[in-house]
Structure 1
Amino acid sequence: MPVPSPYADRLSRLPVERHEVEVSGGKTAYWVYGPATDSVEPVTVIAVHGFRGEHHGLEPVLAFLPELRVIAPDLPGFGETEPLPSGVHDLQAYAQWLREFAAAVAPGAVILGHSFGSIVTSAAVAGGLQTPQLILINPIGAPALDGPKGVLTKLAVFYYALGAKLPARIGTALLRNRLIVRGTSIAMAKTADAALRRFIHDQHDTYFSRFADRDVLRDAFVASVSNDVRAFAPEIDVPTLLVAAQHDDITPIEDERRLALMFPEAELVEIADVGHLIHYETPAEAAGAIRRFLRVPVSRDR
């Protein structure tokens, strides 16, 4: 039985529509949250989720941003979006997909990325994606293999490699193993709130294994641990917001502070008492930082 979302009431008041678009030779599923265009044009944001996730993961943050029109796709090969026909799911392919997706559905939108999505969005913007502003939540600002839990990351490298090499049925079962998914969720969650922890674990149980096949998952994992935002920061010439966690086990806050200095124009907002799950544990704080950055007035419906 699904665990109730602490943000369910807010989300229930947020209009949402599902759409599909042909991008990079395949169908991309995406969801549009928030107000339709009316006499006052809302700010439009394209939000890109992280590794093994899908669009649902960012909903808690969107629940606190009813003023915005947010377009949230599932990355190719995850959720309801088809794998890329090329069969290649490296960073270059994902960045090209995002450039084409933005051009098709919302040219000139603000771009937002969480975790692996921060790498994809940064690569896309540095490679020519036109946007007035860039927002990175839990940005990957240093090599994952060198982080505080680098040993665990190295074990993850072995895990994904093994899943790709075993016979297909066994390998896929290993990659979708519920005990391993739950262990990953427990390791990332920092909150002491028991109800919130149950919700986080249920989210990972529900959505963390909705990948198309093990080849997509392996390629995306390699892309996520082989790249970070530092390579693209100096080439990003638009105002950028970094929303970072002071207890992130993937990118320590000291590395996030150094990352912010690599952008021509960047603002760093640090959130205390949270790790790599800002979008689940402190969505109101993240939304507040985004609203201030975009200079969006507070909705009367809040």
Structure 2
Amino acid sequence: MSGRPGGGLSRDLNRQLARRLSRGLGGSPRGARKGGHLLARYAHIGGAAVGVLVAGAAAGVFAERKIAARGRGAGPEPLGSIRGQVRPVVADDGVRLYAEVDQVRSEDGVDQAARPAFVFVHAYALNLDSWHFQRQALRGQYGMVLYDQRSHGRSSRSVKARCTIDQLGKDLAAVIDALVPDGPVVLVGHSMGAMTVMALAEQRPEWFGPRVVGVGLISTSAGGLLASTLGLPGMPGRVVHRVSPAVVATMARAPRLVERGRRAGADLGFAVTRRLSFGSMEVPPEYVDFTDEMLASTPIDVVADFFPGFDDHDKHAALEVLSGIPTVIIGGGRDAITPVEHSRRLAETVPTAEFVELAEAGHMVLLECHGEVSAALRRLAERAEKRGVPLRTRGLPL
């Protein structure tokens, strides 16, 4: 074992990855290592992180646990500390989905029956706590439902065959039926969560208008993610695109080794997460820590189970129903995971949508520019209310 933390683990992992990279690139192990070193150099990280970097390429989410703890303050409520009434939901295949409900405060004099309820859907390898700032901003004014997607957070593990975007759409339908049985709903998704909303639109187009009265799509794509290269120019970007499925599969076959390597990586994970998830190097470190910890809590085999679905993701045809309801599309100009061009194409496809491009933000725009994102969601709900929405006959279930 090397004297450096994780040195032996890194070499073991890199040897396995090099063999797989060689086959993926159609070349020699030497060529594979060269491609990995190029990628590492352009990403400004060490060779030990190449495997982790590639594994997170499609959705911008991966991290190692850090040795040194940093503060996670976010004003009076620490990041991820907001809790609601726990309301588990059972999906159509029996998977238990962990969900929380936040009610409108009756003492505020808000007419809950006239207001839509928000349903928030989180991204790949994150969990419902990623909506901390939006929950904080809208709490008490709107009913809210937040849940962990299958195999994420506190939800139960799913079999690999059901780890698909289409199944996530069915899960969202189950959550809505169970927790918002009547009255208007505004759906908000981030990255894979927004793809989940698109899957629901494809499966239940009749819900959009009468039942789903507003949609927010954040840092996402309707398809074509094969073109994403982590924002790296030239050869390194092409290496990411070509080898990532092979590397993820290899890592999933040795989950214990990978998890040990992630823990040993310590502060390297912080640097990688900041580089790929945020647009500014000046982002508060507690935001990076918070993201890093959510990512690190996602097992590598869960990452591998969902990863192939991004290649096949194509929901362009489902977007038509969004033209008839208030919609907001939000993208970060420095998003290295889902480049802002994807958000621009969504806005072109749904010309009635409000498009918010935050030039300096990265993939975790909901943290990095949380004030702007929360304000856009408030405008979305207000537009839905002005259109006239069906009244809720009863409050959100408790």
8 Å Cα contact 1:19-1:31 kept in structure 2: yes
The 1:176/1:32 distance shift into structure 2, 3 A limit, reads farther
TM-score normalised to the size of structure 2?
A: 0.65
2:282 aligns to what?
193
Post-superposition shift, 1:181?
Answer: 4.3
1:300 aligns to what?
none
1:48 aligns to what?
121
2:226 aligns to what?
145
How many residue pairs align between the two structures? 293
Q: Find the aligned partners of 1:230 and 1:288 in 2 and give their Cα distance.
A: 27
8 Å Cα contact 1:50-1:114 kept in structure 2: yes
Spell out the pairing of 1:57-96 with structure 2 (5 A cutoff): 57-66=130-139, 67-84=141-158, 88-96=162-170
1:30 partnered with 2:116: no
2:392 aligns to what?
none
2:74 aligns to what?
6
Picking from 224, 241, 249, the partner of 1:161 is 249
Q: Find the aligned partners of 2:143 and 2:127 in 1 and give their Cα distance.
A: 18
Picking from 89, 111, 114, the partner of 1:21 is 89
Q: Find the aligned partners of 1:243 and 1:292 in 2 and give their Cα distance.
A: 13
Post-superposition shift, 1:175?
Answer: 6.8
* CA RMSD between the two structures: 3.0
SS in 1 for 2:355: strand
Q: Find the aligned partners of 1:13 and 1:175 in 2 and give their Cα distance.
A: 25
Q: Find the aligned partners of 1:20 and 1:103 in 2 and give their Cα distance.
A: 12
Q: Find the aligned partners of 1:207 and 1:142 in 2 and give their Cα distance.
A: 25
1:232 aligns to what?
318
Q: Which runs of 5+ in 2 are unaligned?
A: 1-68, 231-236, 386-398
- Which residue identity lines up with residue 190 of structure 2 in the other structure? H
The 1:104/1:228 distance shift into structure 2, 3 A limit, reads same
Q: Find the aligned partners of 1:205 and 1:26 in 2 and give their Cα distance.
A: 26
8 Å Cα contact 2:122-2:149 kept in structure 1: yes
Spell out, residue by residue over 1:13-66, the C-alpha distance to the aligned partner (whole angstroms, 9 max, x if none): 977333322222122111223524676104311100001000111112222223
Kindly indicate which of the two structures has a greater share of residues assigned to helix.
Answer: 2
Q: Find the aligned partners of 1:10 and 1:69 in 2 and give their Cα distance.
A: 21
Bigger-Rg structure (1/2): 2
Kindly indicate which of the two structures has a greater share of residues assigned to strand.
Answer: 1
The 1:13/1:77 distance shift into structure 2, 3 A limit, reads closer
Q: Find the aligned partners of 1:216 and 1:158 in 2 and give their Cα distance.
A: 15
The 1:83/1:202 distance shift into structure 2, 3 A limit, reads same
TM-score normalised to the size of structure 1?
A: 0.83
SS in 2 for 1:133: strand
Post-superposition shift, 1:156?
Answer: 3.8
Spell out, residue by residue over 1:193-229, the C-alpha distance to the aligned partner (whole angstroms, 9 max, x if none): 36x1x21231133211333x54432121222343255
8 Å Cα contact 1:21-1:28 kept in structure 2: yes
- Which residue identity lines up with residue 164 of structure 1 in the other structure? A
SS in 2 for 1:5: coil
1:245 partnered with 2:342: no
8 Å Cα contact 1:33-1:70 kept in structure 2: yes
Q: Find the aligned partners of 2:338 and 2:77 in 1 and give their Cα distance.
A: 32
1:268 aligns to what?
355
Q: Which has the higher contact order (CA 8 A, sep 6+)?
A: 2
